[in-house]
Amino acid sequence: MAIWFFLDRSVVSPIVHLAERTERFSLGEDLDDPIVSNSKNEIGALALAIERLRISLVKLLK
């Protein structure tokens, strides 16, 4: 049970959150709300890449 709690909190939840944000970005929603992540692992790298994508979308739509 403790392993699931750790995986859910540190891996699954952040990925689900990023997927939800990316879905909203794809619909043109929440583009003014940046993604902030202090994580230094692969999930942090993914968050940074999605944030760059958000910035690019904002510039493209101007």
Domain boundaries, the chain: 23-62
- More reliable by pLDDT, 4 or 57: 57
Over residues 13-56, the pLDDT tens digits come to 999 999 999 999 999 999 999 999 999 999 999 999 999 999 99
How many CA atoms does the CB half-sphere of 10 hold within 13 Å? 10
Give the pLDDT of residue 2. 80
- Do residues 9 and 15 make contact, with C-beta atoms less than 8 angstroms apart? no
Angle at 14 between CA 55 and CA 24, to 5 degrees: 45
**C-beta neighbour count of 15 within 10 angstroms:** 13
Give the pLDDT of residue 61. 92
